Amino acid sequence: MPLNQPSASATVIVGTQFGDEGKGKLVDYLSSKYDIVVRYQGGANAGHTICFDNKTLVLHLIPSGIFHEGCICVIGNGVVIDPNALLEEIRQVEAMGYDVRDRLFISHNAHLIMPYHKLLDSLHESAQNDKKIGTTGRGIGPSYMDKFARKGIRVVDLLNPEVLEEKLRDNLEAKNKLIKNIYDTEEIDVEAIVREYSEFDEIINPYVKNTQLFLNKKLREGKTVLLEGAQGCLLDVDHGTYPYVTSSNPTSGGASTGSGIAPNYIRNVIGVCKAYMTRVGNGAFPSELFDETGDKLGRIGHEFGATTGRKRRCGWLDLVALRYSLIINGVTEIALTKLDVLDAFEEVKVCTSYMLDGKEIVDFPTDDQTLSRVEPVYRTLKGWNTSNAEARTFEDMHPDSRAFVHFIEEETGVPVSCISVGPGREETVFR
């Protein structure tokens, strides 16, 4: 199915690497072609950067479809929501002149990120010495911990002040014991939190919906749905480089559980892949570069975290990791992003296999101990030393950059259907 001609089904966009693949630009482009855009996991740890009309905006929770009038945006049940962060984002979008009412819906089943989650995230990280994950500090892990421990507070609870207060007091009592006795830190003021969160009911009410039923109903009516993953496959709690992962499922399987959309509605999975690799936070990264080439990729690619501003680690494209990602996600087509960052290189390298204990391996090891011991094996390709920013068809692109794209296709067996040749909306080649 051509990427830019959706039919009545759901399409998932997933990151195939360690996040920050440039999904925001693609979602922004495709949003104009879909009826509904859904976020299905993660929270304000993600940051999708969108550039248009000479403006750059980073969205953490609201799907970027919000900038296309007529597109409905849904924050699914798999997302963890900090209500303060969400309301601030709504304010920012409205200040830019976009209408949010009746276009943004939040799942009543989504879990909340509370101030104690953020505090515990940073206290836990600080206590880790050399085993820090390098989290974004947004309370993501602690919020999902409460969800799976069946202690979480959900969006629907905000609408029932009595239930909310009881749950809050129970949670705060337990968390304060932890904060005081284990981390030797000042306890959280229970009354202030109860007061603050009791005031959300009327503000949040217009956005709350049973989005699981809503989405399935819309699909049955023939509407098109785009599911927008945050982070990337290699940060998936089940399929990524555990324990250096996030606490949710960015992979395409998570799109179904995180939205309630029945899996058989999902026909197309677009795997977003950056033309090189980056990683923020700790954990193995076989093709990481520690030299001027790595710095150059970071400089040209503006590789600083959209949420935390942290410098991203940079390296060459890793096809061992990519092939694994394509399988786990059932990727039907690749969207290759930030190819323009490679425009100024004499030669570009691509990792095609690993050496482990003297043997060549082609399967991606997801355990950090093994992954941190592999040595990348590279294929060197000719650089193109030319900008493709004006290219609008594949044929317009420099032959050596086309050879790079063909090489990825041959090595993975998956077609590259979209290539980003610059940061702007229009600097994109569709095939």
- Least separation in angstroms between residue 278's CB and ligand IMP is 8
Task: DSSP letter for 114, please.
Answer: P
Residue among 171 and 247 whose Cβ is closer to ligand IMP:
247
- Least separation in angstroms between residue 272's CB and ligand IMP is 12
Of 352, 380, 376, 360, nearest to 287 by C-alpha is 376
Task: DSSP letter for 21, please.
Answer: S
Strand order in the sheet with 266-274: 208-209, 104-107, 72-75, 36-39, 225-228, 10-15, 266-274, 333-337, 416-420, 428-430
Structural element, H or E, at residue 52:
strand 48-52
Residues of this chain that interact with ligand IMP (CB under 6 A) are 18-20, 45-47, 133-136, 138, 140-141, 230-231, 235, 244, 246-247, 280-281
Residue among 309 and 358 whose Cβ is closer to ligand IMP:
309
Residue among 6 and 423 whose Cβ is closer to ligand IMP:
423
Active site residue 108: no
Residue among 141 and 258 whose Cβ is closer to ligand IMP:
141
Per-residue exposure over 26-55, b if at least 16 CB sit within 10 Å of its own CB, e if not: bbbbbbeebbbbbbbbbbbbbbbbbbeeee
**Residue with tokens 């000479």, as numbered in its chain:** 54
Of 121, 139, 113, nearest to 197 by C-alpha is 113
- Least separation in angstroms between residue 45's CB and ligand IMP is 4
Task: DSSP letter for 36, please.
Answer: E
Q: Distance between CA atoms of 60 and 88, rounded to whole angstroms?
A: 11
- Least separation in angstroms between residue 301's CB and ligand IMP is 14
- Residue 313 is which amino acid? R
Position with the least CB separation from ligand IMP = 281
Residue among 134 and 161 whose Cβ is closer to ligand IMP:
134
Residue among 287 and 417 whose Cβ is closer to ligand IMP:
287
- Least separation in angstroms between residue 426's CB and ligand IMP is 25
Q: Distance between CA atoms of 255 and 11, rounded to whole angstroms?
A: 10
Active site residue 239: no
- Least separation in angstroms between residue 113's CB and ligand IMP is 11
**Candidates 28, 35, 48, 108; catalytic one:** 48
The token pair at 302 is 């503006």
Catalytic residues: 20, 48
